[in-house]
Amino acid sequence: MSGLLSMKKICLSCLLFCLSWRPARRPVWVSADRPVKHQQFILSHVVADTPAIKLQIKRLIEAGNVAARRVETLKRERLWLIACVVIISSISIIGAIFYRNMSQKRHFERLLFEAKRNELAFINSHEVRRHLSNILGIIDTIRSSDNRYEIYIEVEAHLFKAAIDLDRSIRNIADKLNG
């Protein structure tokens, strides 16, 4: 019996040394493959019931629980970080798409404006000016003649036609501006 007691004391002193020494690697009974409850059971039943060992075991179990909680917290924080990165990336992509669409829209509006401006410049320089030149020519002919009334009677139909054509050209411009 005394041999068994001395052997128990040697085992306990070795265990206390191992528990107080915190090696870089985990002890054999603490492994990632075994659940924490199993490790606690091994620690509490392998050693004798001395208060110092129980205190060391309790501290070791608390440290393991704190480490497990810290690992869970880090996993949660990692998931939140991944979610934030995904959300920010999605928002950036959507923003880039909207920016591209808006710049394309501005580009095509600019092209449309240029086309309308060129078309209106053509209408102004050819159609409106042509009818206005006809009217001014008829008036100049009437002014330069000796018998204004007779000339006016002759060219009245041409003057009226040129005025109607001018009115039609102006309406055409108004329709193009509104549409």
Please write the tens of the pLDDT for every residue from 99-143: 999 999 999 999 998 998 888 888 888 888 888 888 999 899 888
Tally the residues of the chain.
179
Residues 6 or more apart in contact with residue 30 via CB below 8 angstroms: 39, 64
Percentage of the chain lying above the pLDDT 90 cut:
26
User: pTM, whole model, 2 decimals?
Assistant: 0.44
